[in-house]
A and B are shown apart, each in its own frame.
Chain A
Amino acid sequence: MNQKKRKMNIRLVLSVFALLTVFWACRKNYSNPLDGDLVAVQKGLSLKEAQAFHRSASVNFKNADRQVMGTDATPPTFSGEPVVRWNKSDSYKDGRFEMLEVPIWFPKTRLTAYSFDGNKVNDVSNQAMLAASFSKYVIYRDPLKNKITARILTFMPDKAYLKKYGRYAIKNTGRHLEKNFSGYIEMRDMKQKSILIVRVKAGKVVKTVRMQRRPTGSKDRQQEGSATMSSCPDICDPEYEMDCHQGQPDPDASGGYEVECTRVEVGVFCYPDPFCSPDPWEWPDPNDCDDPANYYLPQCGYEPNPCEDWGECGPEDDDEDPDTVIYGGLANHQLPKTNKLPPRTTTDVQIGATCVFKTMEWISKYYGGTTTVGDILLRYAQDKGLTFPQLMAVINTNGIPSADVQSLATHYFDTASTTNLHTSINNGHPVMGTILVNGLGHEVMVTGYFTNGIMEYFDPETGTYHSKPANEIFNVIEIKGKK
Chain B
Amino acid sequence: MKMKTKRINATSYFSLLICFLGYINISNAQIDKSDAGIIKRTTNIYNIIKSKGSGDIISRDLIMDPTLIANLDVPSKDAVKKQYGNIQADIVMVIIPKPGVEFLDLSQIFDKYKIDHEYRKYAVLIDHTETTDAKTLIANVGSIKTVIVNKEKMYIDIVTIFNKGYNDFRKRTKESKTQLLKKAGT
List A residues at the B interface (Cβ < 8 Å): 1, 3, 5-6, 8-13, 15, 17-18, 20, 23-24, 28-29, 33-34, 36, 315, 347-349, 351-354, 357, 372-375, 377-378, 381-382, 384-390, 392-394, 396-404, 434, 436, 439, 441, 472, 474-475
Contact = CB atoms under 8 A, between A and B. Distances in A.
A351 B21 contact: no
Interface in B1-54: 1, 3-6, 8, 13, 16-17, 19-25, 28, 39-45, 47
B76 A349 contact: yes
B135 A401 contact: no
B43 A393 contact: yes
- Which of the listed residues B66, B72, B73, B133 has the most CB atoms from chain A within 10 Å of its own CB? B66
B132 A402 contact: no
A474 B184 contact: yes
Contact of A12 (B21, B74, B105, B183): B21
Interface SS majority for chain B: mixed
B176 A389 contact: no
B101 to A, nearest CB: 14
B69 A378 contact: yes
Contacts of B20: 9-12
Interface string B76-118: 1110000000001111111000000000010110000000000
Interface in B135-186: 135-136, 143, 160, 162, 165-166, 169-170, 172-177, 179-180, 183-184, 186
B124 interface: no
Given A33-B90, A398-B176, A434-B180, A13 B28 contact: yes
A426 B32 CA distance: 58
27 contacts: A1-B3, A9-B25, A10-B136, A11-B21, A11-B23, A12-B20, A13-B28, A17-B44, A18-B41, A24-B173, A28-B90, A33-B90, A349-B77, A351-B76, A357-B74, A372-B73, A372-B74, A385-B162, A387-B66, A387-B162, A389-B41, A389-B45, A390-B129, A393-B39, A398-B174, A402-B180, A475-B183
B26 to A, nearest CB: 9
A357 B73 CA distance: 12
Interface residues of B, number: 77
Contacts of B64: 387-388
B47 A388 contact: yes
Contacts of A384: 165, 169
Nearest to B81: A315
Contacts of B136: 8, 10
Contacts of B63: 387
Given A13-B28, A387-B162, A441-B177, A397 B76 contact: no
- Which of the listed residues A6, A8, A354, A377 has the most CB atoms from chain B within 10 Å of its own CB? A8
A378 B68 CA distance: 10
A403 B92 CA distance: 27
A474 B180 CA distance: 8
B44 A33 contact: yes
B45 A347 contact: no
Contacts of A24: 173, 176-177, 180
